[in-house]
Amino acid sequence: MRLRVDVDGEPLAPGAAVSGRVVVEEGGRARSLSVRLAFVERTESFEKVARDAGTLAVAKGDLAEGDVLAFSLRLPDDPPANIATRYGRIGWELRARVDRAGPDTTVDRPIELLRGYTAPD
């Protein structure tokens, strides 16, 4: 199974809708497909959700090649800013996840915030 996550209207402002599509590039058997928006701390060997902004179920059952599934989740009004260094990244991202027998298929897609945006004190 292979997925791609497309996002509309980046860069995004605080409180904006994060809308787009999950495109099924290679289908297969599945129980469901969901999309999560979260602020994630990530290094080469570590991953932790620091703030969860919500999860949306976008499909139930098997997925066929060429399926296009729309989603829309909302950034918080006070989202922490994205930060990236050579050692890791902390930032907003979408995760498309297919629940299926065996290992789940996941695709992570970073979200770009407006430049110059900083979180309020």
DSSP labels, 28-82: B--SEEEEEEEEEEEESS-EEEEEEEEEEEEEES-B-TT-EEEEEEE--SSPPPP
**For range 13-21, the mean pLDDT:** 96
Q: How confident is the model at residue 37 (pLDDT cuts 50, 70, 90)?
A: very high
Query: What pTM was computed for the model?
Result: 0.90
- Tens of pLDDT, residue by residue over 69-89, are 999 999 999 999 999 999 999
For the domain spanning 2-110, the CATH number is: 2.60.40.640
Beta strands across the sheet bearing 68-74: 2-7, 17-26, 68-74
At residue 119, does pLDDT exceed 90? no
